[in-house]
Amino acid sequence: MTTPQIEGYARALFEVARADGTLDEVEDELFRFARSYETSDALSEALTDEHVPAEKRQAIVEDLLDGKATSTTVQLVSMVVGSGHARDLPAIVDLLVQRASAAKDLDVAEVRTAVALTDDQSARLKAALENATGKQLNLKTIVDPNVVGGVVATIGDTVIDDTVRTRIDQLKSRL
């Protein structure tokens, strides 16, 4: 659920990254961090534990992202975590991604794959999805070990599931 507070944080993060001139890079880094947060119980527990002082939680973020993200991304994540809103981070980042994509007249395509895609594979997948949907897309890829093979793409309310598991299920139902 989106609250005015989550919308406010997303708008603020968007404006800071845009003013800094690093919106595309920060958007991508925040997206990847939010997905890591969602899939790592240890990370989400460490960043939301109210018994851990805010400074310590911020230090965890800074240590984790040091050298792997822009200083703007580190500062933005640290601010959200330090203010006690780490639980809202995925929702804040998703709104930021939507806002950044809308500013470029793009729709967001969230793609889950079992392994990381090469730049060429990402470009071809983006082109295929744009052709299939008739939309210009901002492709956001997530490596998800639960995807046995193939790809699951979500574009707005549309889900395109071309995974091995889905193909096997379809074969089973035909037999």
Question: pLDDT (tens digit, 9 = 90+) per residue, 56-110?
Answer: 999 999 999 999 999 999 999 999 999 999 999 999 999 999 999 999 999 999 9
Please identify which residue in the block is written with the tokens 């392994």: 115
Question: Are the C-beta atoms of 74 and 103 separated by less than 8 Å?
Answer: no
What are the residue ranges of CATH 3.40.30 in the chain?
105-174
What CATH fold (topology level) applies to the domain 105-174? Glutaredoxin (3.40.30)
Render 67-122 in DSSP notation, one character per residue. TTS-HHHHHHHHHHHHTT-GGGHHHHHHHHHHHHHHHTT-EEEEEEESSPPPHHHH
Give the model's pLDDT for residue 1: 66
Which region holds residue 21: left if phi is over 0, alpha if psi is between -120 and 50, else beta? left
What are the residue ranges of CATH 1.10.520.20 in the chain?
4-101
pTM of the model: 0.83
- CATH entry, 4-101, from 2.40.50.150, 1.10.520.20, 3.40.50.2000, 1.10.20.140: 1.10.520.20
Give the model's pLDDT for residue 146: 83
The per-residue pLDDT of the chain, averaged, comes to 92
Question: Are the C-beta atoms of 51 and 61 separated by less than 8 Å?
Answer: no
pLDDT at 171 over 70: yes
pLDDT at 175 over 80: no
